[in-house]
Chain A
Amino acid sequence: MGKYESLGDENLLTLIAHGDKDALECFYERYATSVFSLARYMLRDEAIAEEITQEVFLALWQKASTFNPQRGSPKGWLMSIAHHRVIDHVRSAKRARDSTDRVARDLFNLHSLYQVDTEDEAHRSMDREEVVKALQTLPEAQRKVVLMSYFEGYSQSEIAQMLDQPLGTVKTRLRLAIQKLRAIFNSSMVQ
């Protein structure tokens, strides 16, 4: 295992594509917390979050050879798979939960931000505080559409209906929000 820790994500993914279980384990150690936390947060169900985390890494094992570096980093790809699986669960549950409460709820409890596994933290280019601050710098309207789409699993059409806004407005807010977050994250990486 130790020999893999120095390898980058893309090299690990190459090894996984060649059936290297140790590489998969190393990749799991790096990103399982992100996947599990996302699923747990969005689904509010630890059992399903476990199930999804397992599914995501099994999918990664099977599909590693199809990874396309032009469309994202291995981490971006993994989180995309994870988010997609969670969304599928959210949508199949037909939003049994009270969505209004979830949207209104403070998604980023600052007291819990620092309870971070230091082993995981070593592999992250950013920390949670930076992400929260970045989200807090967004105008309320932009932040809301990002949170509703990413963490609540609503499509942009659904968001437009729920907020009683034109679809074009929602699209613009999403675009502006992503642009601003990107600028903030890039400057954090440089620093």
Chain B
Amino acid sequence: MVCKDIEDLIPAYVLDALSPEETLQVESHLEGCPWCSALVREQREVVANLVLGVEQVSPPERILARIMEEVAPPPHSRDVTPTAPGRQPRRRPVSVLTAFAYAAAPIALLLLGGVLAFTLRTSGKMDDLKETNQALTEQVAGLQRGNVTLSQELALLRDGSNLVAQKVSELTELNEDSSMVAEVAEKVNRLTEGNDAVTAEVFELSLGNESLSQQMDDLTASGEQLLEVLRTQRSMIYMLTLPDTRALNLEAQEGATSQGSLMFSFDKQRSVFVATGLEPLPPTRRYDIWLRKGDTDFNLGSLFIDETGWGVALLDPDHTMAEYQWIGVTVESTSRFQQPTGEELVLWGYLSSADSVGP
């Protein structure tokens, strides 16, 4: 049982109103609990006064007489209590009689004996008083020792109490720290979850970004192609306005579906080449355009075709077209450059055979 349960029982305990079992429980608890013992002491004092509420009657004197006949000092107290029965020094009357025996004759001696007897009686009482005093002194010393012991116990209890208070304080702080740690852990969890979510989003965004970059690259490429086409068309329109523009239809391999046409002016450098019906090529191969001047073929770049086999290229050679005699389109490896292999000539023609298309 804890103190709270015992406290509820203490009023009935001091009134003797508990069952024997409850009484045993309370007394067992009191053995180790100074706090509840103090409550018992307080309430027992209250109850002890209740008796004054009834008619007060003195007991017959014979009771005290019977008690005095019955009492015998506890064995352990014989050495320290001179007033206990059996410990009374009764030698004094014997000493008086002896004094009388020695003083039988002269009156003076008798008188002296009387004085002596009186002195001895007085001396005997003094001895009794001294012994009583000594006993009381010893008891006081015992009480003082007990007091010192109690003081020491009290000091120990105070130390213990301070220690407990300190521990309680430390535990409270720890508890607060623990709460903070829990809060921080909670925040870390939330941040981790948030971080995971952000990481996932970043990953998705990266994918999206990559896709967008790809799309942008594609669009850029498309844009460049469109610009190229636009420039070519502008050049074509420009050339059509020139008075000496000529058109050369190129020859193809027999049976081939491809056709090529070159628009140029002899006294200009720029010219436009258009091809249709060209076969799509694997990534390792491409169509290259060549102009021949004398014995040398000059590469004027590659001809890119769409999925229908249509392609257009704006040629920008180093000299006016009058310097060149021949144009050809070959299939080359993407790893080759500068010199045509001549292995696969798909379109060709001599500039001198071009027709005038100008206005």
- Chain B residue numbers with a CB within 8 Å of A124 are 52
Inter-chain contact A108/B54, CB cutoff 8 Å: yes
Inter-chain contact B17/A36, CB cutoff 8 Å: no
Inter-chain contact A25/B68, CB cutoff 8 Å: yes
Contact of B41 among A28, A76, A174, A181 (CB under 8 A): A76
Q: Complex: how many Å from CA A107 to CA B54? A: 7
Inter-chain contact B11/A76, CB cutoff 8 Å: no
- Chain B residue numbers with a CB within 8 Å of A54 are 63, 66-67, 70
Knowing A20-B81, A70-B38, A131-B50, say if A175 contacts B19 (CB, 8 Å).
Answer: no
Contact of B18 among A15, A107, A132, A156 (CB under 8 A): A156
Inter-chain contact A18/B80, CB cutoff 8 Å: yes
Which residues of chain A from 107 to 154 have any CB-CB distance to chain B below 8 Å in the complex?
A: 107-109, 112-113, 115-117, 120, 124, 126-128, 130-132, 135, 146, 149-151, 153-154
Inter-chain contact A175/B11, CB cutoff 8 Å: yes
Minimum Cβ distance to chain B for residue A182 (Å): 5
Residue-wise interface mask of B (31-63) relative to A, using a CB-CB cutoff of 8 A (1 in contact, 0 not): 000100110111111111111111111111011
- Chain A residue numbers with a CB within 8 Å of B9 are 171
Inter-chain contact A115/B46, CB cutoff 8 Å: no
- Chain A residue numbers with a CB within 8 Å of B47 are 76, 79-80, 83, 150, 178
Inter-chain contact B48/A76, CB cutoff 8 Å: yes
Q: Complex: how many Å from CA A135 to CA B40? A: 20
Q: Is the CB of B242 closer than 8 A to any CB of chain A?
A: no
- Chain A residue numbers with a CB within 8 Å of B19 are 155, 157
- Chain B residue numbers with a CB within 8 Å of A78 are 48
Inter-chain contact B56/A116, CB cutoff 8 Å: yes
Tell me the total A-B contact number using a CB cutoff of 8 A: 209
Q: Is the CB of A166 closer than 8 A to any CB of chain B?
A: no
Q: Which residues of A contact B (CB under 8 A)?
A: 3, 11, 14-15, 17-25, 28, 32-38, 40-41, 49-50, 53-54, 57-58, 61-62, 65, 68, 70-73, 75-80, 83-84, 87, 107-109, 112-113, 115-117, 120, 124, 126-128, 130-132, 135, 146, 149-151, 153-157, 159, 171, 174-175, 177-178, 181-182, 185
Inter-chain contact B59/A50, CB cutoff 8 Å: yes
- Listed stretches B71-79, B229-237, B293-301; interface member: B71-79
Q: Is the CB of B12 closer than 8 A to any CB of chain A?
A: yes
Knowing A19-B84, A127-B52, say if A72 contacts B41 (CB, 8 Å).
Answer: yes
**9 closest residue pairs by CB, A with B:** A19-B73, A19-B84, A19-B77, A149-B17, A36-B59, A76-B44, A72-B44, A79-B48, A18-B81
- Chain A residue numbers with a CB within 8 Å of B6 are none
Inter-chain contact A149/B34, CB cutoff 8 Å: no
Q: Across the interface, name the chain B residue whose C-beta is closest to A36.
A: B59
Inter-chain contact A80/B71, CB cutoff 8 Å: no
Minimum Cβ distance to chain A for residue B30 (Å): 7
Q: Is the CB of B64 closer than 8 A to any CB of chain A?
A: yes
Inter-chain contact B55/A37, CB cutoff 8 Å: yes
Contact of A20 among B11, B15, B18, B83 (CB under 8 A): B83
Inter-chain contact B66/A83, CB cutoff 8 Å: no
Inter-chain contact A15/B139, CB cutoff 8 Å: yes
Knowing A15-B81, A36-B59, say if A21 contacts B71 (CB, 8 Å).
Answer: yes
Q: Which of B52, B66, B85, B139 has the most CB of A within 10 A?
A: B52
Contact of A185 among B46, B63, B135 (CB under 8 A): B46
Inter-chain contact B43/A178, CB cutoff 8 Å: yes
Q: Complex: how many Å from CA A132 to CA B53? A: 5
- Chain B residue numbers with a CB within 8 Å of A113 are 55
Inter-chain contact A37/B51, CB cutoff 8 Å: yes
Q: Complex: how many Å from CA A170 to CA B65? A: 42
Minimum Cβ distance to chain B for residue A35 (Å): 8
Minimum Cβ distance to chain A for residue B60 (Å): 7
Inter-chain contact A120/B84, CB cutoff 8 Å: no
Instruction: Enumerate 8 A-B pairs (CB-CB under 8 Å) in ascending A order.
Output: A18-B73, A40-B57, A61-B71, A76-B48, A112-B55, A126-B52, A174-B15, A175-B8
Minimum Cβ distance to chain B for residue A154 (Å): 7
- Chain A residue numbers with a CB within 8 Å of B331 are none
Inter-chain contact B14/A80, CB cutoff 8 Å: yes
